[in-house]
Amino acid sequence: MGSPRLIGASRGEGDISHDGRRIATFQTQDNHVVLAIYNREDRKIQRVRQLPTLAEYGSPRWSPDDRSIAFAGAIEIAFNRAIYVMDADDGEAKTVVNAQNIRGLAWLPDGSGIVYASSAGSTMTYPPIFNLRAVSRDGSRDRQLTFGDVSYIEPDVAAAGKLFASRVRMESDIWRFPVDGSPSDNVKNASSDYDPDRSGADAVSRVPMERKLFTCRTAAVTPTHGSPRSTARALARLLSSATRRL
């Protein structure tokens, strides 16, 4: 493997064309976000495509024939997103579908449509459940592919037609923190009172009401922001504040 080399400026992720010669990514030029297409070898910008004025863009994906690029964009309304498709050479971006909280997209192997992850239809506001959906390139036949309480995000489709995605499974349990010691000791001496046979308010009501602070912890298989040490420090400050109020 060789050493990494700088290709050019970018606002985020990029995608390499299937022939390996071009890279599509987003840049800011003259206070506007544009889709920039780099030549991979000489690292020069081949083409700049103007985009609608939106808050943000992400997930650029080359079509199987390298003639079009699909990407997600944020509309002015909170949590509302859209998937766009535009010709790599000319033409304007066209909206394929509007959906809530899009988390990744991929082309179908024949280029006839797009698979994407969205929280559309989720009954949970936070954190929402993401399901995989498929939509035809012209925006028709938008349908849900996965169901249940497990989220699927960042889909990718191999040439053979196999679909891959990241799975996010959320679990919540109840933790008990003492408040008589120092903040750091209170964090160290925390214990879980989780019982799989009890849940919700019933589980809380059965725990002895001692001089302890109760909280719920939600864990996910995806990375979280901040190190365990910084999280412990923040929790220690919270417990210290709670101790003063008791």
- Is 203 a residue whose pLDDT tops 50? no
Q: Rounded to whole angstroms, how far apart are CA atoms 118 and 19? A: 29
Q: How sure is the predictor about 236, in pLDDT bands with cuts at 50, 70 and 90?
A: low
Summarised one tens digit per residue, pLDDT across range 17-46 is: 999 999 999 998 888 888 999 998 888 888
Contacts of residue 199, Cβ cutoff 8 Å, sequence gap at least 6:
none
- The contacts of residue 203 (CB under 8 Å, 6+ apart) are 174, 193, 194, 195
Please tell me what DSSP assigns to residue 51.
-
Beta bridge partners of 29: 32
Q: What is the pTM of this model?
A: 0.68
Question: Would you state the structure tokens that stand for residue 195, as one six-digit string?
Answer: 């019982």
pLDDT of 128 strictly over 80: yes
In this prediction, residues 77-103 reach a mean pLDDT of 88
Instruction: Specify the pLDDT at position 246.
Output: 42
Instruction: Name the DSSP letter for residue 31.
Output: T
**pLDDT band per the 50, 70, 90 thresholds, residue 194:** low
* pLDDT of 100: 87
Q: Are 181 and 225 in contact (CB under 8 A)?
A: no
Q: Give the separation between CA 108 and CA 189, rounded to whole angstroms.
A: 51
